[in-house]
Structure 1
Amino acid sequence: MMTEANPTQNTYLDNPAIYSQLDELLRVRFHVKRLRLNSQQKLISEKAGYRQAIRKGRGMEFNEVREYAAGDDIRHIDWKVSARTQKYHTKLFTEELERPVLCLLEQSPKLFFGSQTRFKSVQALNIAALIGWITLQEGDRFGGYVFNHKAHQWVEAKHQAKTVLQFLSAASTLQQQVTKPGSQTDWQQHLAQVLPYLKSGSRVYLIGDFLDVEADFFKTLSNFKSHCEIVLIHLFDPIESNLPTQGLLKLTDGESQTDFDTFSSAQLADYHAQYESRFEQLQQLSHGMQIPLLSVSTQENALESLRAQKVVT
């Protein structure tokens, strides 16, 4: 079982199971050729019980104002210019050819945990790297928002390799600031930070734990969903849902510690019931809002997991 990284030991920074290695994230680019991201509509159709979602079109950008001509959409008349010139004028728009694809990425102490293969924070960044490079090769713009318990950074979506690199580098830096596990993640605060940046037609991937999100989390997501595609990607470690029977274990949330007797059937049953209850609530809320919810384990190959769940094809 992995141990908690000691903040006084820099050697952990070179351990790819505990901290992401930027060169490996860059090499992901060469493993995603000819892959594509599926839309929210496609993911919803793959989930039994979901109704078909309304397809969100790409955004429209203002181009110019010209004199009104027969056949123009009267809804686009610019009344201010028309009043000033005493002639009807209409606004012209062009469709955005590059869709903004955004990753909202958690790198908080809550993800600073892993039982065998890698930490949840590392797997989260693996997924973001896959989405970034696939987005770029599809001809769309990639950007996003990454945060930990101390800071956050917004990266404007652009169709440039250096923008993907900027995002991955920022995420790696914030990841390395985390040296011990914790229990709280203020997603609500960070969603409020991102909302003003969203453009109509954007595709937004939220990558994190989500089992203890704030009560208003899904209410805020409804503001996102009104003009964007939303996909939730839940990170988990197998030991979280299925504790091994290894006698007395010491459990910590980074602040307090407690003993847990895995030989006690009553304690095990209570632990599993609490976990299942939180996950079921997450499923019900996402299902009710028709937001696809995918789950990726720390022990899985991130690309193969996304393929199996139809996120990429």
Structure 2
Amino acid sequence: MRDRAARIRTGTLPPAAPAGEADPRVHATLSHLRALEGRARQLSFLPRQPARSVLNGRHASRLRGRGLNFEELRDYLPGDDVRSIDWKVTARTGTPHVRVMTEERDRPALIVVDQRMSMFFGSRLNMKAVTAAEAAALAAFRILDQGDRVGGIVFGDALIAEVRPQRSRRALDRFLTALADANALLSADAPAVPPVSLTEVLRSVSRIAARNHLVIVLSDFDVVDDETHRLVSALSRHNDLVLILVTDPFADDVPEGVRLVVSDGELQAEIDTADHTTYRDLKALAKGRLAEILDWQRSLGVAVLPLTAAEETLPQMRRLMGLAQR
């Protein structure tokens, strides 16, 4: 069953915050996201990753870093690195020539954050939408601090907000504002509308990040199809692509022997997991979707970071990146 259609009221969430205060486990406010800046320095999105980082492949980092720009061809001079000799030009002209390259001043990063109703669910600590928002803010702060451009796409059930990558605090603040605004729209009383598809969002990503970007997608990947798979594959060929799969323990451990009331905002149904067939099908559907996304790491060579809403966000990210715990 799709999470979007399952705003399940299990009564397992912690007590709500006092009246008048936004509960940071349910909604990520702009002030809450801004307050993560100092803690973001504990992370790194540079190509050199710790040996235990999931961003390390079998032989090299999955993050290639900044690219190189061609500057000029010139005659070889004593002391030049022989590895920079352009052998084709040398053969054509009869004299040694070197190709001069300079490193790009910065590398653009695009952070894509899912804030659809399927993300407005949490059975233990945070809503999935909050965990995704926190991870996105931490990544954005750290990437800008490293000297790279940062922007993002925030999408909900009926909105897509784009912020083009810039090396600017103002652009970062626009991204965080769009993220907080989209998160604030999530509510159990929100009208049921057909959600923006992940495939549609990835088309926008392909338009902005044609090549040589760091692209981070944070989502529960609710409803993917063959076109989604194709777009992910294409993005990974021309960019450094990191998928952060945000989950909740409920999907891994569907409670057995209870009656659950689920609703899509208009219609309501009761599911009895005491029925063995119902329980088996529900669990298989939930695990099947997670397994499909995790398998992209093998089939497409894409980095997939599983992030659970049941734990604090920063310690998980540090653990996934192979960093010592504080």
Same fold (TM over 0.5): yes
Residues 258-280 of structure 1: CA distance to partner in whole angstroms, max 9, x if unpaired? 21113233322221112122222
1:54 CA displacement: 7.2
TM-score of the two chains, using structure 1 as the length reference: 0.79
The residue that corresponds to 2:218 in the other structure is 207
Q: Does the CA-based 8 Å contact 1:113-1:120 persist in structure 2? A: yes
Partner of 2:146: 138
Indicate the residue corresponding to 2:75 in structure 1: 70
- Which stretch of the first structure deviates more once superposed, 110-119 or 245-254? 245-254
Matches of residues 101-116 of structure 1 in structure 2 within 5 Å? 101-116=109-124
- In the superposition, the TM-score normalised over structure 2's length comes to 0.76
User: What code does the residue aligned with 1:193 have?
Assistant: S
- Structure 1 stretches of 5 or more lacking a match? 4-10, 77-90
Deviation at 1:288, TM superposition (A): 0.4
Q: Flag the 1:43–1:283 CA change in 2: closer, same or farther, 3 A.
A: farther
The range that moved more, 302-311 or 259-268, is 259-268
Residue aligned with 1:232, SS:
strand
- C-alpha change, 1:230 and 1:39, in structure 2 (3 Å) is farther
The structure 1 residue matched to 2:285, chosen from 265, 274, 292, is 274
CA RMSD of aligned residues (A): 3.4
Secondary structure of residue in 2 paired with 1:163: helix
2:237 partner amino acid: S
Matched AA of 1:269: R
Distance 1:115 1:46, change over 3 A: closer
Q: Closer, same or farther in 2 for the Cα pair 1:49/1:165, shift >3 Å? A: closer
Aligned residues: 290
Which stretch has the larger CA shift, 196-205 or 18-27?
Answer: 196-205
> Counterparts of 2:280 and 2:74 in 1: how far apart (Å)?
72
Distance 1:274 1:140, change over 3 A: same
State the Cα distance separating 1:232 from its structure 2 match.
Answer: 0.5
**Aligned residues of 1:58 and 1:96 also touching (Cα < 8 A):** yes
Question: Which residue identity does 2:127 align to in structure 1?
Answer: F
How many Å apart are 1:16 and its aligned residue?
2.2
- Change in Cα spacing, 1:39 to 1:182, as seen in structure 2 (3 Å) is farther
CA change 1:157–1:250 in 2 (3 A) is: same
1:234-293 Cα offsets, whole Å, 9 max, x none, are 111111222234632112244533211132333222211121222222222332001011
Residues 249 and 127 of structure 1, relative CA distance in 2, 3 Å threshold: same
Specify whether residues 109 and 147 from structure 1 end up closer, same or farther in structure 2 by C-alpha distance, changes over 3 A only: same
Matches within 5 A, 1:106-255: 106-179=114-187, 180=190, 184-198=195-209, 200-245=211-256, 247-255=258-266
| Native 8 Å contact 1:38 1:311 kept in 2 | no
Give SS of 2:238's match: coil
SS of 2:139's partner is: helix
Preserved CA contact (<8 Å) 1:37 1:311 = no
Structure 2 portions without partners, runs of 5+: 1-8, 12-18, 77-84, 90-98
Aligned-residue offset at 1:125 = 0.4
Q: Which moved more, 1:168-177 or 1:124-133?
A: 168-177
- Taking the aligned partners of 1:96 and 1:17, their CA distance within structure 2 comes to 39
Q: 1:116 deviation in Å?
A: 3.2
Closer, same or farther in 2 for the Cα pair 1:126/1:183, shift >3 Å?
A: farther
Partner in structure 2 of residue 259 of structure 1: 270
SS in 2 for 1:259: strand
Distance 2:53 2:125 in 1: 32
Task: List per-residue Cα deviations over 1:125-162 (Å, max 9, x = no partner).
Answer: 00001101111222222111111122212212222222
Structure 2 Cα separation of the partners of residues 47 and 162 of structure 1: 29
* Residues 299/106 of structure 1: CA separation in 2 closer, same or farther (3 Å cut): same
State the SS of the aligned residue for 1:33.
Answer: helix
**Residue 17 of structure 1 is aligned with which of 8, 25, 38?**
25
Q: What displacement does 1:220 show?
A: 0.9
Question: Which residue identity lines up with residue 258 of structure 2 in the other structure?
Answer: G
| 8 A Cα contact 2:33 2:176, kept in partner | yes
Identity of paired residues, percent?
24
Structure 1 contact 58–200 (Cα < 8 Å) conserved? no
For 2:29, the aligned partner's letter is Q
* Letter matched to residue 275 of structure 1: A
The equivalent of 1:86 in structure 2 is: none
145-154 or 41-50, which deviates more: 41-50
Letter in 1 for 2:274: F
Distance 1:262 1:183 in 2: 27
Tell me how far apart the structure 1 counterparts of residues 49 and 260 of structure 2 sit (CA, whole Å). 44
Q: Indicate the larger mover: 12-21 or 302-311.
A: 12-21
